[in-house]
Structures are given as structure tokens and as C-alpha cells.
Structure 1
């Protein structure tokens, strides 16, 4: 079997080396600087995928994974890598994306936003499978490179009370009349409430509902059912369920959300990222600022709290309605306007329709905001703060802003929103004269 020294990490957290033929080899579980023996599991024309068979010389940054199921579960990919080193590696991924995709280097590298490395995942969607050959019901994330559900009884990245509940979730589903018709559980943890949404493909019996209510009561959680799309989710227990909320005390804002609304997975990191975004945006009373891909108002309301007028735009009608409700509940309705629009089809005319903007905050999904940045006209805002969950699409959009729209990339840095995974959340500042 081939032996090689690992040169770097790729954007998925795999070690990168070169084969004797010069092809890139991506080695699962390998770290930079390590000498490893590996076995190729997949060959392509320009690259190979491999897994470690033996570590000859380990990195000083290699650590023992905290989770007993790390080898099989696909929920994490970097538990074998020291937490501080993970953040540094993600910063390099961001800088490499800027350089290789856009030939750009940020003038300033912002300090990494970091938080607790464990128990941080307040939002999760876990799979459920009825597998008699493995003892019944499995509840967990998918196995690595597989559609199977990992056989796990705890999870170190979920909040401890959720991790402790996994065996009970298995038991309650196994006790239902249709254990093979509940394929998924959505977990949403707020400041005071925890909701579990059970996706049910068929109607449950009265006895099934009684078991779910007993489970909810015993674990002090809300249990919901979702018989079809997200809009069909409803609470089974308790009868008068308090709303899910998360707060941003620094900005005197509390957000209400439904369990299947999009919200940031890591609430503590979201608060620190919010502070960074507000420092870079520097909203002032009287300014008109657009928040694009605004969701339920996560950035809009802190911006409005500064005294600026905020125009929030989001593709989902339901989230636009939720953002407006949150603005009213926080006393910010007079400083906010929310609109539903498909920003992936933005044009110069559609952007101009929002009127003169002083500043812009963009927080798109993984595909980025290419249509938005391409549609910016001569009267575009002088400052843009771009929050990204994909370094590649951020770098692509940065090239448009820099080479076509006259902006400068002032600074960029990461927020370690998903410790133990390869996911890179980042923030960048662009300005033009």
C-alpha cells in the first residue's frame, strides 16, 4: 500500500497528498504533516479517495475523538483534530478560496469567532430507521459515505439533554404501531424550550399519541408531528406550548421561531458573530440598510435597534411573515420593511427598486449571492458585509465585487459555527469609494 506525507487539508477536512502519478489523493482522517499508509477506495481520472490503514508518524495536533461513534457516524469529520487547530485550518481554507478562485487576499484577517467545541448543536435533523437485524430502531446521523443510520446511543455535539435522550427516542419509536413509518426527527432547542418534530408518513393511533405524550412529559420537551411538508407540523404535547425563542441580549432582541424555521445551529456563536457583523457594518441612525436573505430577521432587528431603517428581503413568504412578527414583538416595526423576493433572480432593476441604500448585509445559503452582486449598479451602497457558509461561493462573489463593481476586500475571518466538522462559516467586509 502507498505511503505518503499529508500536505494539507481540503474543504471537507480530508488530508491531501499526491500519488506517484501526480494525482491528488484525499485521505479521510489524515492530518497535515502526518506520514500515513493509505488504501485507495475510489479512483477518478484526476484524483483518488482513500482511507488510512496505518499512521506511521502522527501529528502533534492529533487527539483522541471524544465520541465513541466517531469512526462510523457521519455527523462529524474532525474530532481527531485539536479544536484550536481546526479553526486555524478553516481560516486557511477561506484564504485559499479567496486566492485560488478570485486571486484576492484580505487586507485584514479578523480574529476567529470561537465558542464551546461540544454540545453546541441546537438544531439538528436526525434519521430514524427500523432495522430488525440490528436490534430494532436506530436513531442518529447517517454513517460516513452511506445512507445507513449510525447505531449510536449518544452524541457529543448535541446539547447533553438531547444526547441523553437518544436511547429513549429509540424506545418510544420502537413502541409505536408503525415504527417503520417515522423516518426523521427534527430537533430545535431554544433559550427555554426544546422541540422534537417526529415526521410521520401515516396517521398515528391514539395509543401511539399517548406514548408520545408520555415521552414529552417525562423529558420536559415539546413533541410535534409533521405528516407532510413543514407547514403541516403541529404540537401534540403540551396543549399550550410556549414559543421557541432565542435572544441576543446585547441588542435587546428576542426572536420567536417555529421548529422547522431556518435558524443558526450554534446560538452562542450566532451572538458573537452578530457583534462582529454590527461592528463591521457600523449602522447609524437615519441610514437605509438592506438585509438580503434575511430569514426571520436575525440580522435585521439588531441593525434596526441602532436606529437605521432596514429593508429585509427573503425568498420564503413564511419567514418574511415571521420576521415582521418579530419586528413588531421587539418594538421595531417602524424601522423595518420585509419583502418576499427570489434573490437568485435579482436584476439591476429589482435591486434599484429598493431605493438608495447606504449599506448592505448579505447572508445567503451555500449557493451564494452571485445574482445580487452582479446586479449592483452605479448607486450601490458603499459598504457590504457578507456572511457566508461556503468559502467557494464567497470567493466567486468577491471577484465580481472587486473586479467588476469597484469594491475592495477590506477583511475576512471565520466563525467556528460547527466545531468538529469541516463546515466553514465566515464574514467579509467590502468597501468602495
Structure 2
């Protein structure tokens, strides 16, 4: 047992860590206090070892608000609903500032104005549902937050409404959940995706089967899901992600390079697309601004997806050599490239960017990477071989940003510019686009 050393220590929550946990500073030591918000006045109990063993709210932050979602808490989505929009924007900018201060030279880099999302609801073009693992209490819905996971025997939150998904998805939520409750439990997940247009009601789906469940055995169940949820197409993959069947057409438009001539370009629900139909355009413009594409510029791009940045850079005249690991994204990206009208200066190949970027011809003018939340821990080895003149990184995790930036700086670069964007309002997530140049 932890012996309580200090009781009744009153302090104020200073901010959020990069993973959204509240923290305080006691004698210059950062201590995490999950469950609180910036500005909360709390009373702490510390152990003899100086660890937090208890905390309770004394006075709520002036930025605390009542959540506008009935499912807040159990749902693992919008974790900052109890913080006002003003408070969320302020804290996200503070999170960026703290991250930059921990990066060598980060406080000297030019920081662009923070870009808030134009809309904080109806921005997300995808929705992922899961079937309950409780065969007696059939339910389906979203995955729960970590704090509530043990309290939900079926492992899902049976949401009946969601404010952040597009209208087309919101209209299908109840019907999709209802049919998932009726068919046998055989899916790991069902992802629905809509276009970016409010005028379009087109929605497609991607089903991932549980291990050992063949697609053919559940053909009728999949057809029922497609009809009940009014899906225009449904792709089906095994538990390893390999697509085994496609019914109808699974493409939607408006989510890839929405402002680039030659479109609209396609996306599919089996692979990642940016999660904010309003902010994606802002993000693309910022990446283009930092890459400075021109006819005499060669850009190597990792984690290219279906061409979201690739097409925008080539549209400005740059030659772009891109790599992407997801076969469906590559197939769709090649189709988008062929449609663009400037395929002569574009190349997209399938491969693991982390392992294979260094195989590209050395000394490109720009290396652009948009890695997953895990970042690119081996970026140093890539840079040693590729030797780009400058690097533009789109980070979606601040811890990964801090670690990868340190590796990039050790490889002979300096952080010159950074731009923060809010792609996921109502959550703690924030994007940071960084420009590194030769030191």
C-alpha cells in the first residue's frame, strides 16, 4: 500500500498531455491526474514516494460545460466535451507550444496561426460500428472509452445518435445498428463512409470478418446489411485486411484532393482518409505552402494514401514519387492519377514507406511524410540514405512528433516552421505540420 504523505494539497490543473490526460506541476514535477480538465482546482493526496494516490475536484474550471452528447463518457470518441470550444482551442495551442519547447530549436521556429475547424459537428466522413461479443444481449455500436470498457459486457456503446459524423452517416446509424443486432455475430467491424458533399446521400461500407469466418458463408447476411443500411457498395475483408468480396461500387468522392482540377477523385472505406471534410482542404494548402512545389522540384512522398497531397503537389508542377502500403489505396490512387491530367509527373508504388523510402533516388528537393500516429521511429536511417534538402512532416500525434523531430534534428536538420491544425474538434487530438531544413 502507498502511505499517504501529503493530504489536502490544493492545486490547479495546468493542461493536457499529448494523449489527453490532465496534469499538474508539483515542485517542477509533472504529475498526471486523469479525469480532470485544464483550469480545474483539485485537492491531491500524495504518497510517501510523491505519487498521486487520490484527487478530487474542489472548483471546476470556468471553461467546463455540460456535454451535449448523452453517450459522453462511455463512448471513446469526443473526450473533451466537458471543455468549452474556447477552452479546447486554447489548450490545443498550449499543447503545441509545450511540444515545440521540448524540441531542440522548436521555440525559435516560425509558428503559423492555429487553424481551427470551420465546423465542430458533421465533419467526420466515416463511422465504424462493432458487434457485441455478448451473445445474450445483442447490441452494436462504437467501442467504449478505456474507463468504461469493463462496465460494458458486450464491449460496445449502443449509440443512437452521433453529432460529428456527416448527415448521410447519421441517417443510417439506427438502421445499421439494427441489422447488425439481427445477423449472426461474425464481424470485427463495419465502416461506413460518405462523400464530402451535404447534397450527396451516397454511403458505402467496408466489413472486416472475424477470424475463421469466410465471406461466402455470410453472403446473405452481408447483403442484408447492405440493403438495410442503404449502402451503394460493400467491400469485405478477412481479419488480416485482405479484401475477399465487393458488392456494388465502394468509391466515394470529395475526400481526396478536393480542390485539385481533374477530379472529383475517389476514396474507399477500406483505407485511411483525412477525418475532417472541412479541414482537409486547409491541411492540403498548408502542406503545399511548406513544400513549395514547382516544375523544377522533385518531391518524394511517404504514406501517400490515394493521393490527397500527391495530386495537389503535382498540380503545381512538381514531380512526385510516392509510396503507400495499402493495396486498395494504391489501386485507387493510380486511378486518381490517371484521371488527373498530369500523370506524366506522378508515380505511386506499393510498399512500406518506413522500410523503402530510402530506395528512392537520393537528394530529392522535398521529403513529405504523413505517418500514422506511431510516427516513423526509424526516420534517421531513411534520412542517412535519402538525404532530402528539406522535410515536411504531418504529425497526428505530438509524442511521435517530439521523438521523430529529435531524430530528424540529429540527422543534420533544424525545425524552421510549424503549423497546428484542429482536424478533430471535441477531442484532444491535434495535427502539427513541421518543416525541417538543412542546419
Q: How many angstroms apart in 2 are the aligned matches of 1:213 and 1:263?
A: 22
Q: How many angstroms apart in 2 are the aligned matches of 1:340 and 1:198?
A: 23
TM-score by length of 1: 0.84
Q: Deviations over 1:176-209 (max 9, x none)?
A: 2x2x223421122224431133334445567645
Q: Deviations over 1:252-286 (max 9, x none)?
A: 24332221112112132111100111112111112
Task: Show the counterpart of 1:245.
Answer: 253
**Which of residues 83, 88, 91 in structure 1 aligns to 2:90?**
88
Gaps of 5+ in 2: 1-6
Alignment of 1:20-419 (within 5 A): 24-28=31-35, 30-36=36-42, 48=52, 55-100=57-102, 102=104, 104-115=106-117, 116-129=119-132, 131=134, 134=137, 136-145=138-147, 146=149, 148-176=155-183, 178=184, 180-191=185-196, 192=200, 193-201=202-210, 202=213, 203=216, 208=221, 211-216=224-229, 219=230, 221-232=232-243, 234-236=245-247, 239=248, 241=249, 243-246=251-254, 247-252=256-261, 253-345=263-355, 350-351=358-359, 353-377=360-384, 380-405=387-412, 407-419=413-425
Q: Deviations over 1:293-323 (max 9, x none)?
A: 2122211111111111111122344433432
Gaps of 5+ in 1: none
**Which of residues 419, 425, 429 in structure 1 aligns to 2:431?**
425
Worse overlay, 100-109 or 412-421: 100-109
Distance change in 2, residues 1:101/1:26 (3 Å)? farther
**Aligned to 1:338, what secondary structure does the other structure show?**
strand
Distance change in 2, residues 1:72/1:93 (3 Å)? same
Distance change in 2, residues 1:47/1:328 (3 Å)? farther
TM-score by length of 2: 0.83
Contact 2:76 2:144 in 1 (8 A): yes
Task: Show the counterpart of 2:4.
Answer: none
